[in-house]
Amino acid sequence: MNIDDDIVKHYESGVESSRLFVGVSQLERERTKEIILRYLDKAPSKILDVGGATQGIQVDRCVLYICRSSVYFAETKNPDPELLKWWNWKDKN
Protein backbone atom coordinates (compact mmCIF):
# COMPACT_ATOMS: atom_id res chain seq x y z
CA MET A 1 0.00 0.00 0.00
CA ASN A 2 1.34 3.43 -0.92
CA ILE A 3 0.75 6.14 1.66
CA ASP A 4 1.05 9.82 0.83
CA ASP A 5 4.31 11.29 2.18
CA ASP A 6 2.45 14.08 4.03
CA ILE A 7 0.40 11.51 5.95
CA VAL A 8 3.53 9.55 6.89
CA LYS A 9 5.33 12.72 8.05
CA HIS A 10 2.33 13.83 10.12
CA TYR A 11 2.06 10.57 12.05
CA GLU A 12 5.82 10.11 12.40
CA SER A 13 6.03 13.57 14.00
CA GLY A 14 4.26 12.19 17.08
CA VAL A 15 1.55 14.86 17.28
CA GLU A 16 -1.14 12.16 17.38
CA SER A 17 0.57 9.89 19.92
CA SER A 18 -1.47 10.90 22.98
CA ARG A 19 -4.59 12.41 21.41
CA LEU A 20 -6.82 9.38 22.02
CA PHE A 21 -5.93 9.20 25.71
CA VAL A 22 -7.30 12.55 26.89
CA GLY A 23 -10.68 14.24 27.07
CA VAL A 24 -13.52 13.31 24.74
CA SER A 25 -11.09 11.59 22.36
CA GLN A 26 -11.12 8.63 24.75
CA LEU A 27 -14.61 7.86 23.46
CA GLU A 28 -13.26 7.82 19.89
CA ARG A 29 -10.51 5.41 21.02
CA GLU A 30 -13.01 3.02 22.59
CA ARG A 31 -15.34 3.11 19.57
CA THR A 32 -12.41 2.44 17.23
CA LYS A 33 -11.24 -0.50 19.37
CA GLU A 34 -14.76 -1.95 19.34
CA ILE A 35 -14.98 -1.71 15.53
CA ILE A 36 -11.54 -3.30 15.09
CA LEU A 37 -12.29 -6.17 17.48
CA ARG A 38 -15.71 -6.79 15.96
CA TYR A 39 -14.90 -6.66 12.24
CA LEU A 40 -11.24 -7.49 11.64
CA ASP A 41 -9.75 -10.95 11.49
CA LYS A 42 -7.50 -12.08 14.31
CA ALA A 43 -4.66 -12.62 11.84
CA PRO A 44 -1.96 -9.94 11.78
CA SER A 45 -3.27 -6.85 10.02
CA LYS A 46 -2.20 -3.33 9.25
CA ILE A 47 -4.65 -0.52 9.88
CA LEU A 48 -4.38 3.03 8.62
CA ASP A 49 -6.76 5.45 10.29
CA VAL A 50 -6.43 8.84 8.66
CA GLY A 51 -8.40 11.47 10.54
CA GLY A 52 -11.39 13.39 9.29
CA ALA A 53 -9.33 16.49 8.53
CA THR A 54 -11.83 18.78 10.22
CA GLN A 55 -9.34 21.59 10.69
CA GLY A 56 -10.90 24.74 9.31
CA ILE A 57 -14.30 23.09 8.80
CA GLN A 58 -17.38 24.13 10.78
CA VAL A 59 -18.46 21.24 13.03
CA ASP A 60 -21.77 21.12 14.90
CA ARG A 61 -20.91 21.84 18.55
CA CYS A 62 -23.75 19.54 19.68
CA VAL A 63 -21.52 16.59 18.77
CA LEU A 64 -18.96 17.81 21.32
CA TYR A 65 -21.65 18.21 23.97
CA ILE A 66 -22.94 14.69 23.32
CA CYS A 67 -19.39 13.33 23.63
CA ARG A 68 -18.89 15.17 26.92
CA SER A 69 -22.12 13.71 28.27
CA SER A 70 -21.19 10.21 27.04
CA VAL A 71 -17.78 10.30 28.71
CA TYR A 72 -19.38 11.54 31.94
CA PHE A 73 -21.89 8.66 31.83
CA ALA A 74 -19.18 6.08 31.14
CA GLU A 75 -16.93 7.31 33.95
CA THR A 76 -19.54 7.98 36.66
CA LYS A 77 -21.08 5.29 38.90
CA ASN A 78 -24.28 7.17 39.73
CA PRO A 79 -24.60 9.88 37.10
CA ASP A 80 -26.80 12.89 37.69
CA PRO A 81 -29.76 12.54 35.25
CA GLU A 82 -29.51 16.25 34.41
CA LEU A 83 -25.93 15.78 33.22
CA LEU A 84 -27.04 13.08 30.79
CA LYS A 85 -28.81 15.76 28.76
CA TRP A 86 -26.38 17.02 26.12
CA TRP A 87 -27.46 20.66 26.40
CA ASN A 88 -26.19 20.78 29.98
CA TRP A 89 -22.64 20.35 28.62
CA LYS A 90 -22.61 23.51 26.48
CA ASP A 91 -19.64 25.82 26.78
CA LYS A 92 -20.16 28.59 29.33
CA ASN A 93 -19.61 32.04 27.79
10 and 38 inside one domain: yes
63: containing domain: 58-93
38 and 6 inside one domain: yes
pLDDT of residue 9: 84
48 and 5 inside one domain: yes
pLDDT of residue 58: 58
Which of 43-57 are b and which e, b meaning 16 or more Cβ less than 10 Å from the residue's Cβ? eeeeeeeeeeeeeee
pTM of the model: 0.43
pLDDT of residue 17: 75
Query: How many domains does one find in the chain?
Result: 2
pLDDT of residue 55: 57
What confidence tens digit (pLDDT) does each residue in 28-67 have?
Answer: 778 877 877 777 777 777 776 666 655 555 556 777 788 7
41 and 73 inside one domain: no
Please report the sign of the dihedral spanned by the C-alpha atoms of residue 24, residue 29, residue 35, residue 37: negative
64 and 25 inside one domain: no
More confident residue, 88 or 38: 88
